[in-house]
Amino acid sequence: MLLSLVAMFFAGVFVANGVPHYTRGVTGQRHMTPFARSSPAVVNVLWGAANFAVGGLLLWLGLRGTPGLAQAIAFGAGALLISLRLGHMWSNPNARLPWHKG
């Protein structure tokens, strides 16, 4: 059960993280990725899709057996926490990941 909850939590993290990258990418906008502070739209589409793929795999793993309220809460908690963190980070015009230069 614990592994299922951990999988669901991280599924929420990956799915929620994929949304802004995919959305910005398909609308032709540049956006920060782990690769650069301002990545081209195509990179963001691919990064968003990769996040969806990992999130989908984790969902599949987390929902094996009988899905329940605990799994839904774990998924929502992961999605909410990463969304709050990303919203806070991206509200800073000088936002960067630790390995981004300058």
Taking the complete model, does pTM exceed 0.95, yes or no? no
How large is the average pLDDT for residues 54-63? 94
What's the per-residue H, E or C state across the chain?
A: CHHHHHHHHHHHHHHHHHHHHHHHHHCCCCEEECCEEEECHHHHHHHHHHHHHHHHHHHHHHCCCCCCHHHHHHHHHHHHHHHHHHHHHHCCCCCCCCCCCC
pLDDT of res. 102 = 62
pLDDT in tens, 6-42: 999 999 999 999 999 999 999 999 999 999 989 999 9
pLDDT at 97: 81
What is the average pLDDT across 39-66? 94
